[in-house]
A and B are shown apart, each in its own frame.
Chain A
Amino acid sequence: MNAHRAGWLALLLLAAIIAGFPWYGDLTGERFPTSYELRLVMRAMIFAIVVIGLNLLVGLAGLVSLGQAALYGLGAHVAALLSLRAGFSFAESMAFAILIPAMMGAVLAFPTVRVRGVYLAVITIAFGLIFVNILREWVSFTGGASGLAGIPRPTLFGEPLMAVRRTNFNYYYLILLCLLLAVWAQYAITYSRYGRAMRAAAQSENAARALGINVVAIRTMAFSISAGFAGLGGGLFANLALFVNYETFTFTTSIELLLMVILGGSGTMAGPLVGTTVLFTATQFLQGLGQWQTFGYGLLLAVVLFAMPQGIVGSLGRLPAWLWTKPSPRATGGWPNWGTGLEAVVGRSDARGQATLLAEGVTLRFGGLTAVNTVNMEVRAGTVHALIGPNGAGKSSLLNVISGFYRATEGRVTLFGERLRDAPPYALARLGVARSFQNTELFSQMTVLENVLVGAHPHFRATFAETLLRLPRFHREERAARAEALRLLEFVGMSEFADEAAGNLPFGHQRRLEIARALALRPKLLLLDEPAAGLTHGEIEDLIALIRGLADRGMTVILVEHHVDMIMAVSDRVTVLDYGEVIADGTVAEVQANPKVIEAYFGQGATPSLEAAK
């Protein structure tokens, strides 16, 4: 809380210094600052706005854009063209300067549906180059390489906007206001379900989808917001320079913007401001190096990246913790802890006895390989249904069909009484299907608490605007989600680890966290993919108690597991798969006696005891 306040105080201080800057000369009687210094500060502020937007994209959503300058340029050209050619007012043209790039950003996000990483980088590079090519060659519209000169001086409420004493530096303050709003928006988005969802999608796309996050939508949103910021910066730039041409918005600028993000510390709050300031200031000072200035610029970058690989804020931010914080021993609680307040978690369950899941003739093929072959299966509400079989029998594939990750080649799946055709994982998650993963898929760079909060993502009702403005509903929901998340951590005995990065947890704790996170969805149907793998004997006992407890409270659990003791102890019903086909289905005892099962596990003539499979 204290650190929180210090951050805002620092921001306030900065704002005050920037705000007082134009009047500095009045105090000292000097001819300073001149319009030269004011222009530099204004350009730095505009850059910072664009960089904040890019930070949301790179730092939160994990999408690297090497074409951000094009969106910046798009905003600048929209503003310039609308006021020059269509006579739009400043406010109108600025609105479009934000809106049109934001829409373009949404279009740019489309490729992320299909490609990531360097492939996406190439698409954004290509986009930037295409944009510049069009600007340069569409002479009649964009003025070609000469650009657009003579943009009319903007006015707001009849006042000309310019950074001179005569107008009380009004344009300077307008830019400062935009910067502060951008900082606020960055904060409001980052520390909300939107920010968490963006980071979740970046750190484990599969887990995010399984937790009800529409990954495509959240990435589109990230791209759009970031492009909107770029457009805002562009519009402000056009109205500052009153001249735009393609050269301000080339690939080099895109690189520079990305460098500012990384240099400051991507994903941090202060990173964009620090990165922009350092790089922008450095560019000015490096001019003293003459023909070696660009070399010095490269050298500086290299040195900073070496010394502070997490960026200035990211790396320095770790210093205090590293210097002063001693790792305190933390106690792992016992689990499950059936405390009060957990009712909501199991409150959505289907009526007992109803078929929660009905699979009919489900077949899944990869090319020529049939992973799942005409499987019929019924899972009743409030039961624990085990899915077993030798390795490669198709258990996980079936689980992936049920949770929507794979699309069944044939057959149909009915969930909660509804026939669901090709519903994506996030939609199923919202309906009440939660799952864990065979190899845990945590959001490793988020804290334990944040991991659980991501699970609560679908329960939020506050709109984006409410979130941005921090209206009461946002606070109410955020508090409730936090309380429930803490209860779930208590439930799995991990309260003391709430602020630990998930990636630092020992394996057993990761399993527990994954279950707590899945439960945050308040699922009706919980799919557990080998939850006991890697757990100690004691932990397995606890896990059994947990699963049984959930089922007793009405939740339906499908359990894929090799651990026979556990299956025997916990399952109401067992389905056995072999080579993708159901070879047995029934109670534990029935299945145990089934000769086909024995054959599948041990080959012909083996000892007819499943016990030995241990």
Chain B
Amino acid sequence: MSRIPPFAPRRALLGLGVLAGLALGAAAPAAAQRAQPCIGASWELTGPLAHTGLSIRIAVETAIEEINAAGGVLGQPLRLIAYDDQGEPARAVDNARRIGERDNCIVMMGGFRTPNAIALREPLDEMGLPWMGVISAGTGVIEHPNNANRWMFRVSMKDRWVAPFLVDAARARSASGRIALVYEGTAWGQGAIPDVTAAMRAANIPLAGQETFNIADTDMSAQLIRLRDAGVDTIIFYGVDREATNLLRSMDRLGYRPQIVSAWGVGVQFAQTAGPLANGVIVAGTYTWMGELPPRAAGVLQRIQARFPQIRTAADIPLPSGTANAYDATFIIAEAIKLAGRLDREAFREALFRVNYQGIVANYAPAFERRQERHDAIQASAYQLFAFHDGQLLPIAQTPYGRARTN
């Protein structure tokens, strides 16, 4: 390995030239002061989370198509500039800089992961670039320390509101009242601990157990044995498809079947991988594209299917709530641009507080308020419970699990 050519410095020339090449980089864009009518996005378009990027992209592209068909914004077509961050926070920041400075978009849209959003706080602030989250549900994405959030908005769930919602659902189904939290060892999972703990305290019941697992863990016997021994009969779950399936497998091995009430990380693929074990697993969310749809949503789904051949049925939309949120968020953005009347980020931000819009997830009236707590457009009243039944993710009322347990 060791090899120092006697005249190494000469070779410095080479390397340094290349680094210089990077510095000079690609051609520079034209100078621009006003923002562009574009939504810049940093999504997980490739890599192990590519399904989440897809879930968002299909909605945003479809919505933009509708918006432009109706005349666009301020007489110009609305554009989408989507970058890939592969789920890495550092890349998300790169993309934010690119969107805010190079592309000069009026707004940036976020993706799936909470840490990618948290990493953006400072750069967004520095650039004065509004950001719209559509999935990343971590409380800290929107609620910053010292109420410092100025630029980050979200059309999605918020864990601090999700937690009481899940706790209520869990209480209604727990016979023993012994409820536990099981969460993945990620920013999102760990971020849920304070929210769920607070919600349980508010409901005046002790948390009967708290367990975590790592991404890609295949066996959760140890966690489940502890919960079983603690008499837990209902589990509030923060995790995604693969680990949820492995959890159910472990439950099946132990012959221990607590009710799972899951946050919305569990998507439709879970129904495939867990098979019959998925039946009865309850998931909170904002939307499902399965079962009976209202006419407007049915139309959206049709247009998505027409535009994206890989979406054959609703079962091919991996994160149904994310897709619905992204659809509504795009319209909220368009409305705000129209209300602002000019392509100015500050004006756009102000306009967000005045948007009134009937979306497919909720009626946003208004979409946002000035308190940072209400930089979240979807309020807890719009949260819904879904359940897996025979390979479908359905509104809980359309399944046999609709009724809360009575004893």
Contact = CB atoms under 8 A, between A and B. Distances in A.
Chains A and B touch (C-beta atoms under 8 A apart):
yes
Interface of A: 3-11, 13-14, 17-18, 21, 24-25, 28-37, 39-41, 43-44, 48, 58-62, 64, 136-137, 139, 144-147, 149-150, 162, 164, 187, 190, 195, 198-199, 202-203, 241-243, 245, 247-248, 264-278, 280-281, 287, 290-291, 293-294, 310, 312-314, 316-318, 445-447, 499
B contact residues, range = 35 or more
B50 A247 contact: no
Given A147-B89, A274-B18, 13 more contacts: A25-B28, A31-B28, A32-B28, A35-B100, A35-B123, A146-B191, A199-B2, A247-B89, A247-B115, A268-B4, A268-B11, A269-B12, A313-B11
Q: Ordered nearest first, which 4 A-B pairs have the shortest CB separation?
A: A7-B9, A32-B28, A274-B15, A34-B101
A536 to B, nearest CB: 30
B104 to A, nearest CB: 8
A83 to B, nearest CB: 14
A18 B23 CA distance: 6
A467 B278 CA distance: 67
Contact of A316 (B6, B7, B11, B191): B11
Interface string B174-207: 0000000000011111110100000000000000
Which of B11, B93, B97, B114 lies at the interface centre, i.e. has the most chain A CB atoms within 10 A of its CB?
B11
A430 B86 CA distance: 55
Contacts, number: 259
Contacts of B219: none
A31 B11 contact: no
A16 B381 CA distance: 59
Interface of B: 1-25, 28-32, 45-47, 50, 83-84, 86, 88-90, 93-94, 97-98, 100-102, 114-115, 118-119, 121-123, 126-127, 138, 140, 144-145, 185-191, 193, 212
21 contacts: A7-B10, A10-B12, A34-B98, A37-B25, A139-B193, A146-B191, A147-B118, A150-B121, A199-B2, A243-B121, A245-B89, A247-B89, A248-B88, A248-B89, A270-B9, A271-B11, A280-B22, A281-B21, A293-B46, A294-B86, A499-B6
Contact of B20 (A13, A28, A270): A13
A149 B190 contact: no
Contact of A34 (B21, B102, B119): B102
A13 to B, nearest CB: 6
Contacts of A294: 46-47, 86
A273 B19 contact: yes
B372 to A, nearest CB: 14
A420 to B, nearest CB: 31
Contacts of A267: 1-4
B118 A268 contact: no
A150 B16 contact: no
A21 B145 contact: no
B45 A291 contact: yes
Nearest to A153: B122
A36 B187 contact: no
Given A270-B12, A270-B13, A241 B28 contact: no
A43 B86 CA distance: 18
Nearest to B120: A243
A203 B2 contact: yes
Contacts of B31: 29-31
Contacts of A280: 22
